[in-house]
Structure 1
Amino acid sequence: MSSAEEALYGNRNAAYDQAAKKVLSQKKILAFILKRMVEEFKDESVQDIMTKYIEGTPLISQVPVHPDETNQEYERIQGNNTEDGSISEGMVRYDILFQALVPKTKEPIMLIINIEAQDRANPGYSILKRATYYASRMVSSQRGRDFYGNDYDKIKKVYTIWICMNAPKDMGNSINRYRMTEERLHGKYRAEEWQYNLLNVVMLYLGNRKTQDSLIEMLRIIFKEKAPALVKKQQLEEEYGIRLTEDETKELSKMCNLSEGVYNDGFNNGFDNGVNVGTFNRAKEDLQNLIESTGWPLEKAMQVLRIPLEEKEHYEKALKKEH
């Protein structure tokens, strides 16, 4: 692939990821996620989780940070920050980072939500191990910010939640949770759970088929359905009581237009088998912009955008009508 093509894909994927994070970071959507995937909130209403327990404004990462290669003292920014770094460990970014209060105790817990948009559940490494690493980093980063010296009782519980949007069939529509538990090898003593249950990893694998699980179905509508943003907005409002603002709707529309599945999934069925009109028009617009900016012929632009060449005749006719 040429550098121009790599730049095109990189920009498209980066823009999609950013729009997806903004959509997912809305408190009304986060509340549904917490109720279904975080045990402390299972008995609370979505409205209460949204208005009473999610604190502040969720932080969204924007720029990737390279590992720290110096031995200079790292001065930590106080408070929540999507950057987490140290001299020895380097630096990573979290997609969405926020804090919530446990309803019964009002103790704060830290929550990370990451969106994994890879076309496979194992992109050359274990996502589950990466999630565990992220959770561990969130615990260790609290020293010097949330607790000092040996005051380890102030360590906050951490949840890292991963939404894998393109899971294989055997993993699709699944939710798995991993956490620390106590195993007594001898004797009768049991420790209190708050002392050790600090790391929690939850993996949600989205599939293409409909499901009875309300959270998975809501996320499937947002990320997987091939429908215009206004249609999705109406579904979210009617089925989940989620009313998106004008700005939130714009982000949803941007995400739909940039969806990685538009070309891989939408065009596989072929134009004659009923390609969605909105999908075809978006692809036509992308082709026109690419041809005008690069001077490439239609066939080259279609290859770069991963549109099957069998559809060339349809796009030729459509583009000619524009001139």
Structure 2
Amino acid sequence: MNSSEEALYGNRNAAYDQAAKKVLSQKKILAFILKRMVEEFQDESVQDIMTKYIEGTPLISQVPVHPDETNQEIERIHGNNTEDGSISEGMVRYDILFQALVPKTKEPLMLIINIEAQGQAKPGYSILKRATYYASRMVSSQRGRDFYGDDYDRIKKVYTIWICMNAPKDTGNSINRYRMMEERLHGKYHAEQWQYNILNVVMLYLGNRKTQDDLIEMLRIIFKEKAPALVKKQQLEEAYGIRLTEDETKELSKMCNLSEGLYNNGFNDGTYGRTKTDLRNLIESTGWSLAKAMEMLRIPPEEKEHLEKELKKKH
């Protein structure tokens, strides 16, 4: 893939890409990401991050990365956005862009979250360098919008968070953070962190296996779990206290419906493919009993006995 506007997972279409971004941009999900990956929020509750500190409506695929295109669009981050994100030929855009207030100081942070689909460590370029470029653009674009002339003290701290959805096995289920650090070469002087700790890059490599890290596991359920939207909705509520609204559930369902290759039969009028493979995948991934898995998959009573016998056979 050559740009962030290409569909997720190689040949997946742009509709799936957009649906995935909409799911990820929900404040309930963003709050978990901020608490785990942004140091300013680590001592705050998810509820407070969601309701008190994330400002406005996150912009999805609307703000260009390149110079001379960014400032005119980014000003809209303070208002409500009702347009669907669009994919422009030849133009690279930030996937999700939003602003949050630092709890202690109420200073604003600029945050970028990008969904990266690469399944290889080096897809023709360094993803880490690309992430650094995105963060640098968010810093330089503040001139003439957030500060003027030589008033550099008003520069906002920037985080660019990359969620690599299809990470290689040796990097899966890892989180790395990169930021500017002071190295004292001589003398006793130390600068205050606010003067130089401006640019931060966080890389999350999502694997296929279960993990004890709450954030990675939550994202694995959303994007990698072999289960329908209604099952994922229940898992999110039971494990993380995330209660999706009807509209939010529809976005999750849309993403699952558009996904290719995850399910044998997919959805049909809101129901899930009724196969023994589906049941095995669901039981293995959730730890649910066969009875509960059948209930969640809406399997008719007349099919339950047959499937139970099939599952007891060696495979």
Structure 1 length-normalised TM: 0.72
* 1:146-295 equivalent positions in 2, closer than 5 A: 146-262=146-262, 274-276=276-278
Amino acid corresponding to residue 139 of structure 2 in structure 1: V
- What is the Cα deviation at residue 104 of structure 1? 0.5
Query: In the aligned structure 2, how far is the partner of 1:74 from the partner of 1:44?
Result: 31
CA, structure 1 residues 127+213, in 2 after alignment: closer, same or farther (shift >3 Å)? same
CA, structure 1 residues 48+75, in 2 after alignment: closer, same or farther (shift >3 Å)? closer
Amino acid corresponding to residue 189 of structure 1 in structure 2: Y
Query: In the aligned structure 1, how far is the partner of 2:258 from the partner of 2:69?
Result: 41
| Partner residue, 1:132 | 132
Deviations 1:241-278 (A, max 9, x none): 111111111111111122255279x9xxxxxx95438x
Question: Do the aligned partners of 2:115 and 2:165 also contact (CA within 8 Å) in 1?
Answer: yes
Query: In the aligned structure 1, how far is the partner of 2:235 from the partner of 2:29?
Result: 13
CA, structure 1 residues 229+73, in 2 after alignment: closer, same or farther (shift >3 Å)? closer
Higher-Rg member (1/2): 1
Percent identical across equivalent pairs? 86
* 1:59-70 equivalent positions in 2, closer than 5 A: 59-61=59-61
| Partner residue, 2:72 | 76
* 1:73-152 equivalent positions in 2, closer than 5 A: 76-77=72-73, 79-80=75-76, 92-152=92-152
Question: Do the aligned partners of 1:121 and 1:166 also contact (CA within 8 Å) in 2?
Answer: no
Deviations 1:159-182 (A, max 9, x none): 000000111111010000000000
Query: In the aligned structure 2, how far is the partner of 1:36 from the partner of 1:67?
Result: 29
| Partner residue, 1:25 | 25
Question: Do the aligned partners of 2:66 and 2:137 also contact (CA within 8 Å) in 1?
Answer: no
| Partner residue, 1:44 | 44
Amino acid corresponding to residue 257 of structure 1 in structure 2: N
Show structure 1 runs of 5+ residues with no match. 1-5, 83-89, 267-272, 280-323
Amino acid corresponding to residue 42 of structure 1 in structure 2: Q
CA, structure 1 residues 197+227, in 2 after alignment: closer, same or farther (shift >3 Å)? same
- What is the Cα deviation at residue 124 of structure 1? 1.6
Show structure 2 runs of 5+ residues with no match. 1-5, 82-89, 267-274, 282-315
| Partner residue, 1:53 | 53
DSSP-derived class of the 1:43 partner: coil
CA, structure 1 residues 188+151, in 2 after alignment: closer, same or farther (shift >3 Å)? same
Deviations 1:123-156 (A, max 9, x none): 2211101000000000000001000011000000
DSSP-derived class of the 1:93 partner: coil
DSSP-derived class of the 1:153 partner: helix
Amino acid corresponding to residue 76 of structure 1 in structure 2: Q
- What is the Cα deviation at residue 10 of structure 1? 8.3
Runs of 4+ residues over 3 Å off in structure 1: 9-12, 64-68, 72-75
Deviations 1:293-321 (A, max 9, x none): xxxxxxxxxxxxxxxxxxxxxxxxxxxxx
DSSP-derived class of the 2:144 partner: coil
Structure 2 length-normalised TM: 0.74
Question: Do the aligned partners of 2:163 and 2:203 also contact (CA within 8 Å) in 1?
Answer: yes
Amino acid corresponding to residue 276 of structure 1 in structure 2: D
Amino acid corresponding to residue 196 of structure 1 in structure 2: Y
Deviations 1:202-252 (A, max 9, x none): 000011110000000000000000100000000001111111111111111
DSSP-derived class of the 2:13 partner: helix
Q: When the two structures are aligned, how many residues end up with a matched partner?
A: 256
